[in-house]
Amino acid sequence: MKEIVSGSEALMRSLVNEGVRTIFGYPGGAIMPVFDALYDYTRGEGKRFDHILVRHEQAAAHAAEGYARVSGDVGVCIVTSGPGATNTLTGVADAMMDSTPIVVICGQVSTAALGTDAFQEVDLVGVAQPISKWSYQIRRPEDVAWAVSRAFYIARSGRPGPVVLDFPKNAQMQTCEWSPVSVTSVRSYRPYPELDNASVEAAANLINHAERPLALVGQGVELGGAHNELLEFLEKADIPAACTLLGLSALSSDHPLNYGMLGMHGSFAPNVKTQECDVLIAIGMRFSDRVTGLPSTYAQQAKIIHLDIDKAEINKNILCDVAVVGDCKMSLPAITRHLRKNNHREWMKSFEPLKQQEQEKVILPCLHPADGPLLMGEVVNAVAQATKGEAVLVNDVGLNQMFSSRYFKYLKKRSIVTSGGLGTMGFGLPAAIGASFGAPNRTVCLFTGDGGFQMSIQELGTIMEQQAPVKMILLNNNYLGNVRQWQDLYYAHRHSFTHMMNPRYELIAKGYGIPYDVAIDRGDLVAKVEKMLATDGPYLLECAVKNEEDLLPMTVPGRNVDEMSLEAEW
């Protein structure tokens, strides 16, 4: 005889079936039946989940993102209807842009009240549809098991992404016969396209005859778990590579074929060589405008091979000569089997003078300044050296994001959590909380600016309650630094509302019971970083950095990708 359960209990059982261990959430009126069911699943002998009470619903979505990015599992958050649901939508859009698998479960008014402008009602499915992989309203308890299984299948399969489930209150409370459901396919949805052998052979033929190949490595390698396949591919054909922002930990920082980061603030050599290579191999990346510079002049001299699981990305921004549509865990070894063992030593030698230029003009002055106030790069370098490439980097958005992404070290996969496509300020702190639960055995280092930190500063309450061991490095320059740099570039140094008056972070940390220190003098930096890392639990290290520090190199918008400035032109 089948068991009769409520829709809320069916949700709990469905989440257990999907292997969920951690949920980020915030209760409210329209989701109370679910939270009542959750009570028994988070306590005592029946405990199946850890529920992390955040302080704002947007933080629940970002924490779920951080959890998903480092663990490889689907992140989950549960919130109430109306403003609770709409508060998560920035996180949903962020996850959609960055292909992050999360499932957001929101309360909703009862179905009888839908369309009446009831208290805290909003058309969530309609609002979420353009920014999610799938959005669905569960109107009957009988549909819970199917909807949850389908949601997780869609979120994690193919090109991952966010799914939103809208759960009216009456469906949470009504009962149904319970039986588990496993969705393993959806009509018209092909998450893993079949490889086209002709395309695979055409790609291999171009690579075999290339004299100046260059590989662009994106997050698709991380999402597909194709790290070993990437190494075999690069090493067999001896291809230099550079990584997108989201793909930085797909290839170890110390690998001899890794030439750094692509894009507007990336490494000088691979950006210049993009305009000189004869075959460009894009692997699991989407040719973002921040990578290509001026699209009309991008890599015009090269034959372009694009490997991506999502056919919609092919020829969307940059036209390619050969498209290999499929999971890169399958497409990379398929191509590698057709490759000749090769040597491109002379081609790679041509990268060295460019690396040296950047080293002398940008990196050394940034990481090892002789005097003056602390610089962001040297703070990042001190933490990177102390963590020896073993830590997870989480960052916010702005100068702190670019400096930390450029100068951190990545020796393990899934080691960077950042807001790429949407560029969401306030992302860093809650994402770091999520990452600390997704990778509990790794050190999580958050780099944040004073602007982004204050956008989600309430999440220090979550850190306090959970004792989440996030090492927070606050790069405080009293500016919205990235916007200030653009104001210098385009608006004649007119700093319109980018200078910030900041609170006393020491007192804020004290109020939350979080250990705190401040680094002002260069001579104290290493010792203070070591103290932070040696302290159990959370820690806030405020670093008083140069107020008007510029981020270089930079490809100014409207220029070719290789027209990078190594010195400030403003």
Distance, CA of 353 to CA of 315 (rounded, Å): 33
Does the pTM exceed 0.75? yes
User: What pLDDT, on the 0 to 100 scale, is given for residue 1?
Assistant: 60
Distance separating alpha carbons of residues 481 and 478, to the nearest angstrom:
8
**Which residue from 230, 74, 222, 44 is spatially nearest to 161, judged by alpha carbons?**
74
At residue 310, the pLDDT reads 97
Burial of 46 (0-12, 13-18, 19+ CB in 10 A): exposed
Q: What is the pLDDT of residue 340?
A: 97
Note the pLDDT of residue 569. Answer: 82
Q: Any idea what the Cα angle at residue 224 is, between residues 318 and 247, rounded to 5°?
A: 55
DSSP 514-567: --EEEE-SGGGHHHHHHHHHHSSS-EEEEEEB-TTPPP-SEE-TTSBTT-EESS
Residue type for position 134:
W
User: Which positions ≥6 away from 539 have C-beta within 8 Å?
Assistant: 470, 471, 472, 514, 515, 516, 517, 532
Residues 6+ apart with CB under 8 A from 508: 457, 460
**Amino acid at site 311:** K
Residues with Cβ within 8 Å of 504's Cβ and at least 6 positions away in sequence, in order, are none
Residue 422: φ, ψ to 5°: -90, -25
In this prediction, residue 544 carries a pLDDT of 98
pLDDT averaged over 10-residue windows placed end to end, the chain, 570 residues: 92 98 98 98 94 98 98 98 98 98 98 96 98 98 98 98 98 96 95 97 98 98 98 98 98 98 97 98 97 96 98 98 98 98 97 98 96 97 97 98 98 98 98 98 98 98 98 98 96 97 98 98 97 98 97 94 92
Contact 300, 294 (CB under 8 A): no
Find tokens 């950042």 and name the residue: 418
